[in-house]
């Protein structure tokens, strides 16, 4: 049976000579895996651009509950990005988000339209943003926790529980968190931003067994240093 849905690409792996298996977070069916044939051939070379991480798609898909890998009938961009693919800071943030989602969206086939809309809206905001890009990894990770079922009650508790820095630095870190979420201007402090992100990652590692480390944090460190 065919269904019209929206999806956000998380990643893909190569399959056989010319195909891929792509993992997509959908609005109606939650996390799904799809096989896409021929996109790595000369004839289908342009189509693989649709399946880059964090692309937002309109899809027509087949749904068979007896199969773990589904098929796509039609696919096209839902939102055409104007800046994310061409801005190294924004594209680095998008890759970081895709890695976070890959590690936390673990249940396939469970509908979660609220979570989907949150991620979609954040991608649109990132594409349209003109400043403050360096804070987007922090705000997204902080807010995503609520949709994952372990909302962060306040930054003060977060810092004091999951930060291993000395007390004086903890107070500075709390001030940094509060400046982000209250839109109070604060001097851009690279070390505080890195501490804030590390603190959030520690929080996620505590709530997800096998969460491990993130490759993309090193890229963020270089891009925003």
Residue 110: the pLDDT is 63
Mean pLDDT, range 90-112, rounded to an integer: 87
Give me the residues paired with residue 77 across strands: 57
Average pLDDT, the chain: 89
Sign, Cα dihedral of 147, 150, 155, 159: negative
> CA-CA distances (angstroms) from residue 82 to 9, 79, 116, 191?
17, 9, 21, 30
Which tens digits make up the pLDDT trace of 139-158? 999 999 999 989 998 888 89
Q: What is the largest CA-CA distance in the chain?
A: 60
Select the highest-mean-pLDDT range: 107-121, 128-142, 164-178: 128-142
Residue 112: the pLDDT is 78
Give me the residues paired with residue 57 across strands: 7, 77
At 113, the pLDDT band (50, 70, 90 cuts) reads confident
**Residue 207 to residue 117: CA distance in whole angstroms:** 23
Is residue 185 predicted with pLDDT exceeding 60?
no
Break the chain into its structural domains and give their ranges: 2-77, 84-223
Give me the residues paired with residue 2 across strands: 62
At 221, the pLDDT band (50, 70, 90 cuts) reads very high
Mean pLDDT, range 166-184, rounded to an integer: 80
Which tens digits make up the pLDDT trace of 28-63? 899 999 999 877 776 656 688 899 999 999 999 998
Q: Would you say the CATH fold of 84-223 matches that of 2-77?
A: no
Residue 108: the pLDDT is 63
> CA-CA distances (angstroms) from residue 103 to 23, 57, 106, 135, 176?
12, 21, 7, 21, 26
**Residue 13 to residue 35: CA distance in whole angstroms:** 10
Length of the chain: 225
At 13, the pLDDT band (50, 70, 90 cuts) reads very high
At the fourth CATH level, which superfamily is domain 2-77? Nucleic acid-binding proteins (2.40.50.140)
Q: Which of 83-87, 99-103, 170-174, 184-188 has the lowest mean pLDDT?
A: 184-188
Q: What is the DSSP letter of 213?
A: -
Mean pLDDT, range 199-216, rounded to an integer: 93
pTM score: 0.91
Nearest Cα to 145, choosing from 135, 158, 161, 160?
A: 158
Contact 164, 157 (CB under 8 A): no
Report the CATH architecture of 84-223: Up-down Bundle (1.20)
């Amino acid at each position: 049976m065919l269904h019209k849905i929206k999806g956000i690409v998380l990643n893909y792996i190569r399959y056989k000579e010319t195909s891929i298996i792509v993992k997509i977070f959908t609005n109606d069916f939650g996390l799904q895996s799809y096989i896409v044939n021929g996109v790595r051939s000369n004839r289908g070379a342009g189509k693989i651009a649709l399946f880059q991480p964090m692309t937002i798609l309109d899809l027509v898909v087949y749904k068979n509950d007896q199969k773990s890998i589904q098929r796509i009938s039609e696919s096209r961009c839902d939102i055409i990005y104007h800046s994310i693919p061409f801005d190294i800071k924004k594209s680095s943030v998008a890759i970081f988000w895709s890695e976070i989602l890959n590690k936390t969206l673990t249940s396939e086939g469970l509908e979660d339209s609220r979570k989907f809309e949150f991620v979609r809206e954040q991608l649109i905001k990132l594409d349209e943003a003109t400043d403050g890009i360096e804070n987007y990894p922090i705000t997204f990770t902080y807010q995503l926790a609520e949709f994952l079922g372990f909302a962060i009650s306040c930054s003060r508790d977060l810092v004091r529980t999951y930060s291993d820095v000395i007390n004086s630095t903890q107070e500075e870190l709390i001030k940094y968190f509060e400046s982000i979420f209250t839109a109070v201007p604060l001097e851009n402090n690279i070390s505080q931003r890195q501490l804030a992100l590390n603190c959030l990652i520690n929080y996620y590692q505590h709530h997800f067994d096998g969460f491990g480390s993130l490759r993309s944090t090193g890229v963020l460190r270089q891009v925003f240093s």
